[in-house]
A and B are shown apart, each in its own frame.
Chain A
Amino acid sequence: MQDLLRRYGPGLTGLICLLVAFWLVMLVIVPNVTLFEQSFRPYLPVVDIGGPKDTYSFRNYLKVLDGATETSLFGIAFSVPVHVKTFFQTIWYSMVVTVVCFALAYPLAYYMAKVVRPRTVPTLLLLLFVPLWVSEVLRAFAWWIILAFKGPLNVLLQGLGLIEDPIRWTNMGYTGVMVGLVYTYVLFMIFPIYNAVSSLDTNQIEAADDLGASWWRIHWRIVLPHAKPGIASGAVMVFMLSAGSLLVPSILGSTTSQWFTQTIDQWFKDALDWNTASAYAFLLLLLCTVFVSVAMKVFKVKLSDIAK
């Protein structure tokens, strides 16, 4: 701080601090505190706000428990509140997306970092970047076209003789959502893992190979441990983006697939009940915080490693 004053004088230092304060206080802390505070207030007509009915309660959070629905897990049927089900389905399918993305991304990242000639890597990266630059809504839309009942995928599969009748891809539970999320976010898994594997000394791999280690052992004992920070970073990014995505589930979702963000959106836009929407949004924030903390513990990485 003293350093800043000496270099740039009181005026510029003041400006710098003011800008940062505006960001962190007005755009981050106060909005989130307000969200938290509002989530405990009831949804009232304007005249009643601040009146005797405007008291704090957990009622908005308890709405999660309304409306039971029959579910079965591992063959055991039981009833669970519909929003709780949505919440856990969102977590579960986001985790599936994360795992699928990792499975797709790891061989590719390894290939780019260690196998292919270094000269072609920038070209490959650029090609991979092209879909990233085309906006998310259009990427989801592209899959909407492909998965349509009379769309190219069904025509292709029928042409190859793999299926007899066209399949309703977007009416099979979470299939459409999964496909869309994986396509949209797999790149966020590739780049961190690629960065991590690139920094591995190739001599280590060769040494292991010379000493007779099998290929899977080389990966298990050398490459994977080295890539751990990259994997953590990619996994956190993919999970957060998937769980927080509203576009992809809305465009590619079926009648039986509901995403937690869609529930929040309905409270906010359809029911106009901003207070309950706040409570639900806070639950989502809590989920993300817990996930990041767990990921940091499991992978033994710091927050600054993830954000790289």
Chain B
Amino acid sequence: MHKLRLNLLHLYMGLFLVYMLAPLVVMSGAAFNDSKLPSIVPWKGWTGKWFSEMIADERMMLAFANTLWVAVAVAGIAVLIGTAAAILINSVSGKVRTALYGMMISTILIPGVVIGISTMILWTKMGNALGTEFFLFNPGLHLSVLGQVSYIAAMVMLLVLARLQSFDAGLEEAALDLGASHGQVMRRILLPHLYPAIGAGAAVAFFQSIENFNVTQFTRGGADTLTVYVFSKVRSGITPTINALAFLLIIVTLVLAVAYELNRRRKAHEEAAREAEARRAEALEEAL
């Protein structure tokens, strides 16, 4: 490739990374600025007070706890439903498969606003129709969980379905022939093969749930999750406590990313070492 174009592309990549990461740096920097408004200019000196104020903010801590339990619930339910859906899709074919698969996938494309409103209306109307005060039918974070599951389950389904493609159904046949029960086939043969995808699905579901704003905003009733709380803070009077929170989240993300990267490099290194070993052995064999 032409030298100039190559350099331009390198430059572009660098600039793009700056574009992606600079806002995060600005946001983190503002967490340490001793100024009532969240900004890095003018710099009024270092301070750690926004962190102590953040910990003292009870509503934020409550919102944080809410976010965690919602995310865990969403991950749990979405993994159950998504895995079941993948197994079902994998065992049907033809028109039924196309229809089912299309319906499942389309949930990812429904706007969050629509999911939020429709979930809210359905469950509260059902409560009214049944004339019950049971908590399930009132607005609240449990409805947020249901709304979020409705599209996050499809993501889990896609991950598990991809993993199912590499599954050898003959193993199940063999187990059945050897007298395994249905439960054992599922527990000992199919699920262990799917665990990596299920784990990835749970992680995706967990983070998608933390991210979610649209569905939660319409279904939450009076309760806060972190995203909703930050949003209300940004719209009303903000103090840099949000920046302190953002800084901590970015640090956690970076630590996880670096750990992942180091692990990956170590594995790649080992792999390369093994390959070299194999090549040497082969060469040796040939020489002999």
**Interfacial residues, chain A to chain B (CB-CB below 8 A):** 1, 3-4, 6-9, 11-12, 15-17, 19-20, 22-24, 27-28, 30-32, 34-35, 38, 49, 104, 107-108, 111-112, 115-116, 122-124, 126-131, 133-146, 148, 150-152, 155, 183, 215, 236, 240, 243-247, 250-251, 261, 264-265, 268, 274, 277-278, 281-282, 284-285, 288, 292, 303-304, 306-308
Contacts of B158 in A (CB 8 A): 307-308
Q: Which residue on chain A has the smallest CB distance to residue B82?
A: A23
Q: Which of B17, B92, B102, B182 contacts A11 (CB 8 A)?
A: B182
**Known contacts A27-B150, A151-B39, A240-B111; A142 and B87 CB within 8 A of each other:** no
Do residues B111 and A285 form an inter-chain contact, with CB atoms below 8 A? yes
Q: Which of A28, A107, A288 contacts B107 (CB 8 A)?
A: A28
Distance of A101 from chain B, by nearest CB (Å):
12
* Complex: A111 Cα to B10 Cα, angstroms: 8
Distance of B13 from chain A, by nearest CB (Å):
6
* Stretch from B52-60, B113-121, B193-201, B277-285 that touches the partner: B113-121
Residue among B100, B106, B210, B254 with max Cβ neighbours from chain A (10 Å): B106
Q: Which of A104, A151, A277 contacts B16 (CB 8 A)?
A: A104
Do residues B41 and A155 form an inter-chain contact, with CB atoms below 8 A? yes
Do residues B150 and A23 form an inter-chain contact, with CB atoms below 8 A? yes
Do residues B246 and A122 form an inter-chain contact, with CB atoms below 8 A? no
Do residues A150 and B41 form an inter-chain contact, with CB atoms below 8 A? yes
Do residues A19 and B41 form an inter-chain contact, with CB atoms below 8 A? no
- The interface bits of chain B over 214-244 (1 if a CB of A lies within 8 angstroms of the residue's CB, else 0) are 1001100000001100110011000000100
Q: Which of A3, A146, A265 contacts B91 (CB 8 A)?
A: A3
Q: Which of A16, A34, A303 contacts B102 (CB 8 A)?
A: A303
**Chain A interface mostly:** helix
Q: Which residue on chain A has the smallest CB distance to residue B231?
A: A137
Do residues B17 and A12 form an inter-chain contact, with CB atoms below 8 A? no
Q: Which of B2, B81, B109 contacts A240 (CB 8 A)?
A: B109
Q: Would you call B61 an interface residue if the criterion is a C-beta within 8 Å of the partner chain's C-beta atoms?
A: no
Distance of B126 from chain A, by nearest CB (Å):
9
Distance of B256 from chain A, by nearest CB (Å):
8
Contacts of A30 in B (CB 8 A): 122
Q: Which residue on chain B has the smallest CB distance to residue A2?
A: B91
**Known contacts A133-B207, A137-B231, A304-B101; A152 and B26 CB within 8 A of each other:** yes
**Known contacts A246-B113, A268-B117, A285-B110; A135 and B211 CB within 8 A of each other:** yes
Do residues A123 and B27 form an inter-chain contact, with CB atoms below 8 A? no
Known: A141-B27, A142-B27, A268-B117. 16 other contacts (CB 8 A): A7-B176, A15-B84, A19-B80, A32-B118, A34-B121, A38-B125, A130-B257, A131-B24, A141-B242, A142-B24, A145-B38, A261-B111, A278-B118, A281-B118, A285-B114, A288-B110
Q: Which of A22, A112, A137 contacts B81 (CB 8 A)?
A: A22
**Known contacts A8-B185, A152-B26; A135 and B249 CB within 8 A of each other:** yes
**Interfacial residues, chain B to chain A (CB-CB below 8 A):** 1-2, 5-6, 9, 12-13, 16-17, 19-21, 23-24, 26-27, 30, 37-41, 80-81, 84-85, 87-88, 91-92, 100-115, 117-122, 125, 128, 146-147, 149-150, 153-154, 158, 169, 172, 176, 181-183, 185-186, 207, 210-211, 213-214, 217-218, 226-227, 230-231, 234-235, 242, 246, 249-250, 253-254, 256-257, 260-261, 264
Do residues A278 and B117 form an inter-chain contact, with CB atoms below 8 A? yes
A-B contact pairs, 7 of them (CB 8 A): A11-B182, A31-B115, A122-B261, A137-B231, A141-B242, A145-B30, A281-B111
Distance of B106 from chain A, by nearest CB (Å):
7
Q: Which residue on chain A has the smallest CB distance to residue B125?
A: A34
* Complex: A27 Cα to B169 Cα, angstroms: 31
* Complex: A284 Cα to B114 Cα, angstroms: 8
Contacts of A308 in B (CB 8 A): 158
* Complex: A136 Cα to B226 Cα, angstroms: 12
**Known contacts A137-B231, A285-B114; A7 and B109 CB within 8 A of each other:** no
* Complex: A142 Cα to B41 Cα, angstroms: 14
Q: Which residue on chain B has the smallest CB distance to residue A9?
A: B182
Do residues A124 and B27 form an inter-chain contact, with CB atoms below 8 A? no
Do residues B84 and A24 form an inter-chain contact, with CB atoms below 8 A? no
Do residues B112 and A19 form an inter-chain contact, with CB atoms below 8 A? no
* Complex: A152 Cα to B33 Cα, angstroms: 13
Contacts of A264 in B (CB 8 A): 113, 117
Do residues A136 and B87 form an inter-chain contact, with CB atoms below 8 A? no
Do residues B231 and A247 form an inter-chain contact, with CB atoms below 8 A? yes
Distance of A307 from chain B, by nearest CB (Å):
4
* Complex: A306 Cα to B105 Cα, angstroms: 9
Residue among B20, B84, B100, B111 with max Cβ neighbours from chain A (10 Å): B111
Do residues B235 and A31 form an inter-chain contact, with CB atoms below 8 A? no
* Complex: A8 Cα to B83 Cα, angstroms: 14
Contacts of B24 in A (CB 8 A): 130-131, 134, 142
Contacts of A122 in B (CB 8 A): 261, 264
* Complex: A277 Cα to B218 Cα, angstroms: 11
Distance of B146 from chain A, by nearest CB (Å):
6
Do residues A146 and B23 form an inter-chain contact, with CB atoms below 8 A? yes
Distance of A294 from chain B, by nearest CB (Å):
13
Contacts of B91 in A (CB 8 A): 1, 3-4
Distance of B243 from chain A, by nearest CB (Å):
8
Do residues A108 and B214 form an inter-chain contact, with CB atoms below 8 A? no
